Structure 1
Amino acid sequence: MKIAATIAYLATALVAFSNAQQVGTNSPEVHPALPSQTCTASGCTTDNTKIVLDSNWRWTHNVGGSTNCYTGNTWNSALCPDPATCATNCAIDGADYSGTYGITTSGNTVNLKLVTHGPYSTNVGSRIYLLQDDNNYKIYKLLNKEFTFDVDASQLPCGLNGALYFVQMDQDGGKSKYSTNKAGAAYGTGYCDAQCPHDIKWINGEANVKNWVPSSGDPNAGSGTYGSCCPEMDIWESNSISQAFTSHPCTVSGQYRCSSPTECGDDATNNRFDGVCDKDGCDFNPYRMNNQNFYGPGSNFNVDSTKPVTVVTQFITDDNTANGNLVEIKRFFVQNGKAIDNSAISWTGIDATNSLTDKVCNQAKTVFGDTNDHSKKGGLKAMGAALKKGVVLTMSLWVDYAANCLWLDSTYPVNKSPSVPGAARGTCPTTSGVPADVLAQAPSATVKYGNIRVGDLGTTTGGVKPPTTGPTSAPTSAPTTTKATTAPTTKPTSAPTSAPTTSKAPATTTPSSGVVGAYGQCGGSGYSGPTTCVAGYTCRVASQWYSQCVPN
């Protein structure tokens, strides 16, 4: 879920919260309802889904008692001398979602609060998952589908990340695989992602106590020998200044416990690109793609982050079926009842399109001077294999103790000039995002996610069709300077005024029958493929460079 940086995962509670494998009885676990929908051309049906808090946040204590197994960022050595003994001795308890963690639901919307002052503790951030029932995560299979949700990131300043994404966790949280895991999905166990995080306190039913080192910067976190890895598809990482979606493929399928710096891809040992997962990923941040006026706070942006917005992500395969290979990830928005196409890329050397393909990923890695680990780890085909098998929906709000979220909303690395392609990701100063500053200046920050839908292409937006006017071009003059909550922003650079380079769709997006599938390219300058769309779709001119098959 993180781009071009090793990220310290969501700040944990400022008291003794941890996760464990036994189930405690001190507090009941009641999962708040968060209905979602599944859509087809005939309409949408409601699923009685719920949410569950990640086990890393929960109070862990000795079985049958109240002695902490983990306090601050240190394990209790008497109760946890080794991984297996700790799993036997420690129990995880139920959560007070609103009172302790600042997590509330209303209808089909969930609200996550940054800082919550409970009766006995102060909690920072949270991470939750969507449940199909009380004991199983909801599994999403996304190939040849679109995933849609509403988000309100208006209260998120520089340095915060409100993230909604998919990871290939076990449906039951690993309970059936590991006999020592008695808690399972009901208590939010089994987390993994493409960063192979070492701060997960319990992995594969055992405590991650081996060689545990408390963090020098985060008073509540640390790292153990093991990491928990799996493919990750970041649908939405954002604050009110910047947003991005990112593909993170891995060479492993499902949740995998890495055990060495090499396979974990640890930065501390210079093994970032040697691990089993692509930590950098292939990302699409409109600002980074050289359109500084697309997303931000105010009506002068195409997408106004001061207002709620509907985000639609489509997963296009080479044969337009759920059995094909992933070849393109498309994005558009709906705000104030109007469909808004994603921003066009505006860098020389990258196709002037507005979606992710392997070609665009490879071009961007070259132009930005980044290591192309995405291709090395299998590219979109590997990402698609995970989405075909099934992934779990994750929603979170966090501060970044490793890189201050500069990779999302500022210039990163900070020693690069903002004029260098790919360095500028947003208007936040390079001095912004320090967790202590963010927590002091914006403790009441919140993010809302809601109206979660998945369905066939073109079915989740309630009659609002995808845009037919083509990608949103970069501005030809510098936009006005915006102001973030935590600090004044810097003035963004102007986008180039020349016409974008010709965009060509990958050959694999065209069915073998010679007709173009839903939302595929069917024309444009330099395009030489088929121009006839599948039944129910019409080829419409979006611009001189691009025509697309859209619903009749």
Structure 2
Amino acid sequence: MLLAILALTDLLGLATAQQAGTVTTERHPKLAWKKCLASGACINIQGEVTIDANWRWVYDKETYADCHTGNGWNKDVCRNGQSCANRCALDGADYAGRFGVSTCGNSIALQFVNDGADDSTNIGSRLYLMASPTKYQMFTLLGNEFTFDVDTSRLGCGMNGALYFVSMDEDGGMAKYPSNKAGAKYGTGYCDAQCPQGSKFINGEANLENEFGSCCSEVDIWQANAVSTAFTAHPCETTNQHRCEGDNECSKACTPDNGCTLDPFRLDHHDFYGPGARYAIDSTRPLTVVTQFVKGSDGGLAEIRRFYVQDGRVIPNVGITGNYSNNNNNNRNSGANSSSSSSSSSSSNSTGSGMTGSFCRSAGNSDAFVEKGGMAKLGKALAESMVLVMALWDDYHPNVLWRDSSSATDLPGSECDVTVGVPAEIELEENRQVNRNYVIFSNIRFGPIGSTFRQT
């Protein structure tokens, strides 16, 4: 059975339950992280990770046949919704063998393409940090900082190694939706600001014809490969997980393509991030990413501040200067008139070098961010608990051009050409055998601002 990113769009029949399977025992890989205190001391936490329900085998509990295949729903098993409810279950995961996911201490590696022992091929993955076998680890970001190390050196144009937070339910929706029998243990309950309509199960029911989407607030801390990087904030009208119906409703619930994005390359800092010593941040080597969620005098979100650490150097985010235009509501970050040099980043300081309300109202960001409540609405999501997501994927539509390159409404986001990064080429067996693409996240730390790294 082919398990690829396209599995996100598999069709499922209407079901009244979301059951847990028993063919493969679910054993979550362990992943350690640190909870830091205001004093700077950090406590080791033994966590674990689970893979999203969409990547799991859904099978007939009676015959062990696939409930769905790469060609759609298995009508022999699911002739109607009730038969699906009675017979189909989400199975446990073979993390290393099938999905190419491995952990060691405080490090997790996600392999882009993995060929399983049974001749199956898996592409990409999405995982969540767990506090226990049945509950997601929850983070309250407002007034705190989140830090991690990352290695994107093996990711080229068209790939995205992502670390982000979404307002999912701690138990994967089991309490709210009693028909969900699998819960967080099996990676259920996903939502984001794109209101994905390709989720197999939403609110404990199968997603018939992909007519429903699952929405919630989202903060993209890190979306990057070796040539481009950006972080983006996406508020929603309703902060927590909720279901939308139909393309029209789902497209308006959040800020799917029009959040507030801070992309160094699109801000004209072309020497800030990339592969090689000429860049202020050399993506061929591991680096530390620090994100601070700064409170204002009113207790709400005032700024999302970013630092990088590499070779012992603390590198503030690129300076946000110049005149910005919002000449197209679909632009992400275009029209920034600032100097194109790495020296501009080194001269920046923490004040004014992060994502603020004034930046999000300019710099080519869409009006949708403000219309959905802007920083104030986003701050409410950050004041509540969010789930940490780590993922690696490519993009069949539109080949990650939204971040890597240019489109009809965007300036280039890196030096990637619009003709590269095509999934059909990236996923070719000869290419994946040579490149062995992967991303490594490690050394996660979380605590009050100033507790997870030393600023010099």
Task: Output the TM-score relative to the length of structure 2.
Answer: 0.88
Which among 407, 410, 415 is matched to residue 427 of structure 1? 415
2:104 partner letter = S
Paired with 2:304 and 2:19, the residues of 1 have a C-alpha distance of 40
* Structure 1 residue 143, shift from structure 2 partner: 0.5
Task: Determine if the alignment matches structure 1 residue 449 to structure 2 residue 441.
Answer: yes
- Say whether the 8 Å CA contact 2:33–2:44 is kept in structure 1: yes
Query: Percent identity among equivalent residues?
Result: 45
Paired with 2:91 and 2:224, the residues of 1 have a C-alpha distance of 31
Partner of 1:142: 141
- Say whether the 8 Å CA contact 2:195–2:256 is kept in structure 1: no
* Structure 1 residue 106, shift from structure 2 partner: 1.1
Task: Determine if the alignment matches structure 1 residue 341 to structure 2 residue 307.
Answer: no
Partner of 2:345: none
Which among 5, 8, 11 is matched to residue 11 of structure 1? 5
| Higher alpha-carbon deviation: 174-183 or 229-238 | 174-183
Which among 376, 381, 388 is matched to residue 376 of structure 2? 381
Partner of 1:234: 220
Residues 478-489 of structure 1: matches in 2 within 5 Å? Answer: none
* Structure 1 residue 85, shift from structure 2 partner: 4.5
Paired with 1:383 and 1:88, the residues of 2 have a C-alpha distance of 40
Cα pair distance change 1:193/1:94, threshold 3 Å: same
Residues 248-397 of structure 1: matches in 2 within 5 Å? Answer: 248-265=234-251, 274-319=252-297, 324-349=299-324, 353-365=352-364, 371-397=366-392
Paired with 2:403 and 2:180, the residues of 1 have a C-alpha distance of 35
2:314 partner letter = A
1:296 partner letter = G
Partner of 2:189: 190
2:306 partner letter = R
Partner of 2:424: 436
Root mean square deviation of aligned Cα:
2.2
Question: 1:278-312 CA distances to partner (integer Å, 9 max, x unpaired)?
Answer: 43210001001110000000011011000000000
- Say whether the 8 Å CA contact 1:160–1:399 is kept in structure 2: yes
Cα pair distance change 1:73/1:359, threshold 3 Å: farther
1:317 partner letter = K
Paired with 1:275 and 1:50, the residues of 2 have a C-alpha distance of 32
Paired with 1:404 and 1:346, the residues of 2 have a C-alpha distance of 30
Paired with 1:104 and 1:33, the residues of 2 have a C-alpha distance of 9
Cα pair distance change 1:62/1:433, threshold 3 Å: same
- Say whether the 8 Å CA contact 2:32–2:106 is kept in structure 1: yes
Task: Output the TM-score relative to the length of structure 1.
Answer: 0.73
- Say whether the 8 Å CA contact 2:193–2:235 is kept in structure 1: yes
Paired with 1:39 and 1:61, the residues of 2 have a C-alpha distance of 42
Task: Determine if the alignment matches structure 1 residue 244 to structure 2 residue 233.
Answer: no
* Structure 1 residue 345, shift from structure 2 partner: 3.0
Cα pair distance change 1:393/1:82, threshold 3 Å: farther
Which SS does the other structure have where 1:345 is aligned? coil
Paired with 1:85 and 1:249, the residues of 2 have a C-alpha distance of 38
1:394 partner letter = V
Task: Determine if the alignment matches structure 1 residue 154 to structure 2 residue 132.
Answer: no
Which SS does the other structure have where 1:406 is aligned? coil
* Structure 1 residue 435, shift from structure 2 partner: 0.3
Partner of 2:452: 460
- Say whether the 8 Å CA contact 2:62–2:87 is kept in structure 1: no
Paired with 2:290 and 2:74, the residues of 1 have a C-alpha distance of 45
* Structure 1 residue 83, shift from structure 2 partner: 5.0
Question: 1:335-354 CA distances to partner (integer Å, 9 max, x unpaired)?
Answer: 11111111123542369742
Cα pair distance change 1:81/1:225, threshold 3 Å: farther
Cα pair distance change 1:276/1:297, threshold 3 Å: closer
Tell me, which stretches of 5 or more residues in structure 2 are unaligned? 325-335, 339-351
Residues 388-537 of structure 1: matches in 2 within 5 Å? Answer: 388-413=383-408, 423-440=411-428, 441-442=431-432, 444-461=436-453, 464-465=454-455
Cα pair distance change 1:231/1:404, threshold 3 Å: same
Question: 1:301-326 CA distances to partner (integer Å, 9 max, x unpaired)?
Answer: 01100000000000011138xxx211
Partner of 2:332: none
Paired with 1:91 and 1:318, the residues of 2 have a C-alpha distance of 47
When the two structures are aligned, how many residues end up with a matched partner?
420
Partner of 1:39: 36
Structure having greater relative contact order (Cα 8 Å, sep ≥ 6)? 2
Paired with 2:270 and 2:337, the residues of 1 have a C-alpha distance of 18
Which SS does the other structure have where 2:211 is aligned? coil
Residues 23-62 of structure 1: matches in 2 within 5 Å? Answer: 23-42=20-39, 43-62=41-60
Cα pair distance change 1:307/1:234, threshold 3 Å: same
Which SS does the other structure have where 1:410 is aligned? coil
Tell me, which stretches of 5 or more residues in structure 1 are unaligned? 1-8, 213-223, 266-273, 417-421, 468-552
- Say whether the 8 Å CA contact 2:228–2:413 is kept in structure 1: yes
Residues 106-145 of structure 1: matches in 2 within 5 Å? Answer: 106-120=104-118, 121-145=120-144
Paired with 1:307 and 1:383, the residues of 2 have a C-alpha distance of 32
* Structure 1 residue 80, shift from structure 2 partner: 3.2
* Structure 1 residue 262, shift from structure 2 partner: 1.9
- Say whether the 8 Å CA contact 2:99–2:114 is kept in structure 1: yes
Which SS does the other structure have where 2:369 is aligned? helix
| Higher alpha-carbon deviation: 435-444 or 83-92 | 83-92
- Say whether the 8 Å CA contact 2:114–2:121 is kept in structure 1: yes
Partner of 1:75: 73
Paired with 2:101 and 2:372, the residues of 1 have a C-alpha distance of 36
Partner of 1:180: 179
Question: 1:119-165 CA distances to partner (integer Å, 9 max, x unpaired)?
Answer: 12111110000000000000000001000000000000000000000
Which among 86, 99, 102 is matched to residue 101 of structure 1? 99
- The structure having more radius of gyration, on CA atoms, is 1
Which SS does the other structure have where 2:168 is aligned? coil
| Higher alpha-carbon deviation: 343-352 or 427-436 | 343-352
Question: 1:475-524 CA distances to partner (integer Å, 9 max, x unpaired)?
Answer: xxxxxxxxxxxxxxxxxxxxxxxxxxxxxxxxxxxxxxxxxxxxxxxxxx
Paired with 1:84 and 1:140, the residues of 2 have a C-alpha distance of 37
Partner of 2:348: none
Question: 1:407-450 CA distances to partner (integer Å, 9 max, x unpaired)?
Answer: 1111223xx6xxxxx51210000101110111122452000001
Paired with 1:351 and 1:249, the residues of 2 have a C-alpha distance of 27
Cα pair distance change 1:83/1:35, threshold 3 Å: farther
Paired with 1:263 and 1:35, the residues of 2 have a C-alpha distance of 39
